[in-house]
Amino acid sequence: MISGHRVAVLIPAYDEEASLPGVLAAMPRAVVDEVVVVDNGSRDATAAVAARHGATVVQEPRRGYGAACLAGVRRLASGELPDIVLFVDADWNGDPAEVERVVGPVVAGTADLVIGARMGAENRSAMPWHARAGNRFVLELVRTLFGHRFADLGPFRAIRFTSLLALHMDDRDWGWTLQMQIRAAELGLRVLEVPVAHRRRAIGRSKISGSVTGSARAGAKMLYTLARERLATRS
């Protein structure tokens, strides 16, 4: 609880038994009220590890990053409503102080969506070239097609819960973060990007940007999302 704001953390997880303990331990208790881990059909002990470390576990057997996030949002909407949702990847190893930096502007009422943008020199080595290139390409298309300028599509982000519900998110895959920021901007929400450090996954296996084909697959999903959003908003 921070200044009377209930903060829920949502972590989509697929085979993350190794990295979850570190992520869950890093969540500052002074800020975070509840952690929901969505086990997206993991073959390892993700669910048991998450529960043991105090998280609420939601099962979503239908695979997909967005599908997992949607399942988590549905759960949050059915309980004690949070004021703010913070999305955190299961391999996150940023500085715990960043949690407050990303949540802060929503608490202060100066932003509705705060995107942790992976900027700065230290990130250049942490993100493989194909992930960086894909990110840049997609963001350039967003600028051309929608006129919205973003520095990143990073997963680490905080959003006011009522704003999130107003976006009627439905992307079930890697287009999730892209859809969120396009819709937020189109709806006229106040979107802010704050720089965060991005370090290479310390433990466990990278499933997307760990390989060129992984990045390409995620990029293709994003282009699909981009086309869909463009057709929906300008028809």
Ligand X SMILES: Nc1nc2c(ncn2[C@@H]2O[C@H](COP(=O)(O)OP(=O)(O)O)[C@@H](O)[C@H]2O)c(=O)[nH]1
Does 91 bind Mg ion (CB under 5 A)? Our answer is yes
Dist CA 61 CA 197 (whole Å): 31
Report CA 192 to chain centroid distance, whole Å: 14
Closest separation in Å from C-beta 136 to ligand X: 15
Stretch that binds Mg ion, among 11-19, 20-28, 91-99, 139-147 (CB under 5 A): 91-99
Do residues 221 and 178 make contact, with C-beta atoms less than 8 angstroms apart? no
**To the nearest whole angstrom, how small is the minimum distance from the Cβ of residue 124 to ligand X?**
15
- Contact with ligand X (CB under 6 A) among 3, 110, 125, 206: 206
**Cβ 188 to ligand X, closest distance in Å?**
29
CA distance 116 to 131: 16
Interface mask (CB under 6 A) for ligand X, residues 6-45, using x and -? ------xxx-x-----------------------x-----
Count of beta carbons in the 10 Å neighbourhood of residue 207: 16
Specify whether the CB–CB gap between 190 and 80 falls below 8 A: no
Length of the chain in residues, anyone? 235
Query: How many whole angstroms separate alpha carbon 119 and alpha carbon 115?
Result: 11
Residues numbered 144 to 203 that lie near ligand X (CB under 6 A) are 201
Question: In angstroms, rounded to a whole number, what is the distance separating the alpha carbons of residues 80 and 194?
Answer: 28
The partner in contact with residue 163, picked from ligand X, Mg ion, none with C-beta cut-offs of 5 to 8 angstroms by kind, is none
Please select the residue that binds ligand X; options are 141, 208, 220, 223, rule is CB under 6 A. Answer: 208
Residues that bind ligand X (CB under 6 A): 12-14, 16, 40, 63-65, 68, 89-91, 201, 206-210
